[in-house]
Amino acid sequence: MWRNESGRGAWVVVSMLMMMTFVSCAGSKPENLGVKEGRLAPCPSSPNCVCSDDGGSGRGIAAIELAISPKKAWPIVVEVVYEMDRTTVIRDDEGYLHAEVASAIFGYVDDLELQLRAKQHEIAVRSASRMGWSDMGVNRRRVESIRKKLVERGVAR
């Protein structure tokens, strides 16, 4: 069962299990998540994060400008996140949402945060990888995909 004709069957299985353990690491949950002093946490020095509250060093991204009332928009925003593939909503409070998004191949986890800012008529956004240095633009594309879906639903401009 574990042995094929070349005698390497067991080694292949063990190697695959070790590789899966190594690459599917979720990383530990950052301690700086959430809203502090009315803002989302700034991005770390690595280029694997975007945040609408972080205007410097290429990691800034525009907040999502609302086209309808914040009260009507927020439930639709939350619905869009719940519909995303490989996404688990961790915290869904009134006006704040934190979700974990796993990558398709290796299962790396990114943290997605959205904060409703009703007075400004916008949604602040932050999407950051837990591990590694570069994300190859994944977090920026994720936020822009959410923005596009909200524009299509008439929620955002």
27 band by pLDDT with thresholds 50, 70 and 90: confident
CATH of 26-152, one of 3.30.310, 3.40.50, 3.90.25, 3.30.420: 3.30.310
99-106 contacts: CB < 8 A, separation 24 or more? Answer: 100/26, 101/127, 101/142, 102/26, 103/138, 106/23, 106/24
Over residues 68-106, the pLDDT tens digits come to 999 999 999 999 999 999 999 999 999 999 999 999 988
- N residues, the chain: 157
